[in-house]
Structure 1
Amino acid sequence: MMDRDLFAARELVADLAVRAGRLQLERRDTLRMGAPKAHVNDVVSDVDIASERLIVDAIRAAWPDDAVQAEEGHGRSGASGWTWVVDPLDGTRNYVSRTGPWSVCIALYHQEQAVIAVVHDPAAGETFSAVAGAGALLNGEPISGSAGPPLEQALIGVSFQPNPATKERAGKVVRELLPRCGDIRRVPAALNLVYQAAGRLDGGLALDTNLWDIAAGALIAREAGVVLGGHGTDFSTELTIGAAAPLWPSLSELIRAVA
């Protein structure tokens, strides 16, 4: 990885995320909805597509040999061993309905390892970022996860795809979790993870995501000291659990038993 300045690359893509977020704020009143994708609640707008094109075009110009995985179809193969994973607008339903936060997510993998991550919240003007091994930042300042209160006091983020099967699965998890934790918050997957990184949430779970939903947030959370896992020793798109270290045993045991 010595052939690339990861810190300079992080700054470049953080700027791209901010530019995409500015576009989203500017075009929110004039957006046009497209046809649903995988299911009726999987919505997409012309702003999602324009944001992705802005990001991917700039990545291609800077690193023409890199691969790109992008949610709205602007991906491509590459020959360099580096892969960019892009979600131009994580939380489209919140963005369109004006009912909650959303974010711009960009991660860089070298082979199978995430090495750069940026999650930008346009409405709040917050940019979370990380380079592997160098800690997590919020607007350039170091952040760290929660101290980890007992489960009965913990605030837990919940994220899931809104298709019928996953909603049923999430309902089972919430029925078991809610009476035993302090409270829950439903937030998009990337923000769930970076809110854990900033200590705003004590833990969280995400069900049936895609890699672009969690790739950036997961690296930022880990760099802030959040413990991540799933049904096995690592998190997955099927199940991602995060928690402060003292909370991890009780939260992960509960969720693994029902998810």
Structure 2
Amino acid sequence: MDRDLSGVRDLAAELAVRAGRLQLERRDTLRVGAPKAHANDVVSDVDIASERLIVEALHAAWPDDAVQAEEGNGRAGSSGWNWVIDPLDGTRNYISRTGPWSVCIALYEGDEPRVAVVHEPVANETFSAIDGGGASLNGEKITVSGGPPLAEALVGVSFQPNPATKERAGKVIRELLPVCGDIRRLPAALNLVYLAAGRLDAGLALDTNLWDIAAGALIAREAGVVLGGRGDDFTTDLTVGAAPALWPALSEQVRAAA
């Protein structure tokens, strides 16, 4: 089924901005619910309201599309198109006011990502991509950094804060930090889009969910980032990204430790 992907991107961006505005407006009155998978897996009423805003609008536009969404508003579809949504990636940052977060929307046709949007509400930055059409930030084209040597590279690190993954991440960081320029811990989507925009030189994510990385991964690839995991493609278990010149050294280092 043909679809106007530029129009899809524009609507997804509009919805991400609307959800981000809701998050800013309700930050002082949010209510935190019970943890989900573990004590550090928190959710607020704003996560849920943001997801509902996005899913209802997408369903109104394309009622036959499937939806895979973090906070439980998913649904089956019959069109062959699947929306993958994280309404608030970085909830702990949002609740504690200690760092950035984003709204993430991706559209798949079968198993292939076609459209992606990641919106950072505080900075009012909207990163987006269409498969084969490049990546942009607020409408301006972005590309990956030139890739300095690993010893000078700034590397983003993302991981789920459950006990097992924290132990795994600690091992990777112990091996990586002495040989790279420095690291930054970020929510997974922003890790990938900052890499796409050349703010980071490399990034890695451990034990994510598809909604954490689906949108950011397409934006990164369209900006020229090399992505992989255990093999030639990234997975939710391990996602590694880098500027092309940095990829051999960075991927070898991370894969050996992870």
Q: CA RMSD in A?
A: 0.4
- Counterpart of 1:113, as a letter, is E
C-alpha displacement at 1:125, in angstroms?
Answer: 0.3
Rounded Cα–Cα distance in structure 1 between residues aligned with 2:211 and 2:55 = 13
* CA deviation after TM superposition for structure 1 residue 80, in Å: 0.3
Letter paired with 1:109: Y
Aligned residues: 258
In the TM superposition, what are the counterparts of 1:81-92 in structure 2 within 5 Å?
A: 81-92=80-91
Q: Distance between the aligned counterparts of 1:66 and 1:212, measured in 2?
A: 16
Task: Find the aligned partners of 1:13 and 1:117 in 2 and give their Cα distance.
Answer: 8
Please tell me the residue identity of whatever aligns with 1:229. Answer: G
TM-superposed deviation, 1:137: 0.4
The yes-or-no answer on 1:19 pairing with 2:18 is yes
The CA deviation string for residues 174-193 of structure 1, in whole angstroms up to 9 with x for no partner, is: 00000000000000000000
Percent identical among aligned pairs is 79
- Which consecutive aligned stretches of 4+ in structure 1 deviate over 4 angstroms post-superposition? none
Residue by residue over 1:195-245, the C-alpha shift from the partner in whole angstroms, topping out at 9 and shown as x without a partner, is 000000000000000000000000000000000000111000000000000
Which residue number corresponds to residue 29 of structure 2?
30
In structure 2, the partner of 1:174 is 173
Q: Secondary structure at the match of 1:200?
A: coil
- Residue segments in structure 1 that go unaligned for 5+ positions in a row: none
1:6-44 deviation digits (Å, cap 9, x = unpaired):
000100010000000000000000000000000000000
Distance 1:81 1:8 in 2: 18
Counterpart for residue 219 of structure 1: 218
* d(CA) in 2 for partners of 1:258, 1:127: 33
User: Is residue 56 of structure 1 aligned with residue 43 of structure 2?
Assistant: no
What TM-score comes out, normalization by structure 2 length? Answer: 1.00
Quote the Cα distance in structure 2 between the aligned partners of 1:190 and 1:105.
7
Alignment partner, residue 8 of structure 2 = 9
- Residue 198 (str. 1) matches residue 197 (str. 2): yes
- Secondary structure of the 1:142 match is strand
AA matched with 2:193:
V
What is the match of residue 110 of structure 2?
Answer: 111
Residue by residue, what CA displacement relative to the aligned partner does 1:46-87 show, whole Å, maximum 9, x if unpaired?
000000000000000000000000000000000000000000
Q: CA deviation at 1:109?
A: 0.1
Distance in 2 of aligned mates of 1:229 and 1:191: 17
Provide the rounded CA distance (Å) in 2 between the counterparts of 1:200 and 1:129: 16
